[in-house]
Amino acid sequence: MSFLNIAQILVSVILVLVILSQVREGGSGLFGSAQNGVRTRRGLERTLFQFTIILIALFLIISVISVRFA
């Protein structure tokens, strides 16, 4: 296994954990929607959202690089 494969597995596992940590019990997470429509993210929720976007970009970059060198 190459370094890129290990990095891609590691990033994907972290990405799954971050996405699952954003789900709330009240239904406003993965399968629900906000009561009043638009809702702003604050504090830890905003940080997790931004970290998710960074992880997705990193996953895509690693995927493209690993295909390029395969």
pLDDT at 28: 53
Domain count, the chain: 1
Q: Which domain holds residue 56?
A: 3-68
Residues 35, 69: Cα–Cα separation, whole Å: 47
What residues in the chain have per-residue pLDDT under 70?
1, 24-39
- For residues 23 and 29, the answer to whether their CB atoms sit within 8 Å is yes
Written as one string, the DSSP assignment of 18-69 is: HHHHT--TTS-SSS---TTS-----THHHHHHHHHHHHHHHHHHHHHHHHHT
Q: pTM to 2 decimals?
A: 0.72
- For residues 63 and 69, the answer to whether their CB atoms sit within 8 Å is no
